[in-house]
Amino acid sequence: MASARFVVLQVLLVAAALAAVPFVLSDPPPLQDFCVADFTAATAVDGFPCKPASTVVDDDFFSSAIVSGPNTSNPFGANTTRATVSAFPGLNTLGLSIARIDLAPGGLNPPHSHPRGSELVLVLVLKGEVMVGFTSGANRLYSKVVKENELFIVPRGLQHFQHNVGAGDAVFVAMFDAQSPGLVVPTFSLFATKPAMPMEVLAKTFLMGEDEVDVIKSKFAGF
């Protein structure tokens, strides 16, 4: 009898813990009006300590980080400019950030994900036509060609890509509900690690011969 009650209690505790999970996954809510990042602080915390309020100035809440387009002359024809907390200290503790992505004609922001609790990646196309796609846990691909002022949403943590399918350059911004959403690009995580991923792991993963894996690896040698 007592043990049955104990099991019920355990089930309730697990249910309560699961219910709390969504609040734990994204950035925690701030505890003060603002906490402008102090990059010079000697202490390390999960995030950045706050500058003393007396030293906070208007420019701490302003950023021109994404005003100008970066150089897209690279093999992917893509380049990302981030206004995350490290470039924009006023974002510290606010659970928000933004990035500008420039794509040359045919350019591709290769499949990647943002691990740190970005609840969503909201893609707003400023110029051009961009095919945005993400894959679900069931390996279904959801994609749309997104044009100027149109939006597409990428749910938290899922693999996604952006491909310029228009005739000219394309520019879009991605908005995150995290001050530093992080970035994982599986191709780089597999083929450009230091030290290198063991060959047996790569060959087995791709059901390929080692010579075929070497061909792919050679393409990522410069990254």
Ligand X SMILES: *[C@@H]1O[C@H](CO)[C@@H](O)[C@H](O)[C@H]1NC(C)=O
Residues 58-117 that bind ligand X (CB under 6 A): 70-71, 73-74, 79
Q: Which residue is nearest to ligand X (CB)?
A: 70
CA-CA distance, 141 to 133, in Å (whole number)? 7
Q: Which is nearer to ligand X, 56 or 185 (CB)?
A: 185
**Residue 222 CB, nearest approach to ligand X (Å):** 11
Bond preceding residue 195 cis, omega within 30 of 0: yes
Backbone angles phi, psi at 199, to 5 degrees: -55, -40
How many residues touch ligand X (CB under 6 A)? 5
Beta bridge partners of 103: 78, 170
CA-CA distance, 79 to 75, in Å (whole number)? 10
**Residue 198 CB, nearest approach to ligand X (Å):** 27
Using DSSP, how many helices (H) and how many strands (E) does the chain show?
A: 4, 9
CA-CA distance, 48 to 218, in Å (whole number)? 38
218 forms part of the interface with ligand X (CB under 6 A): no
Q: Which is nearer to ligand X, 73 or 139 (CB)?
A: 73
Measured in residues, the chain has a length of 223
Residues 17-36 that bind ligand X (CB under 6 A): none
**Residue 99 CB, nearest approach to ligand X (Å):** 12
**Residue 185 CB, nearest approach to ligand X (Å):** 12
Residue ranges that bind ligand X, judged by CB under 6 A:
70-71, 73-74, 79
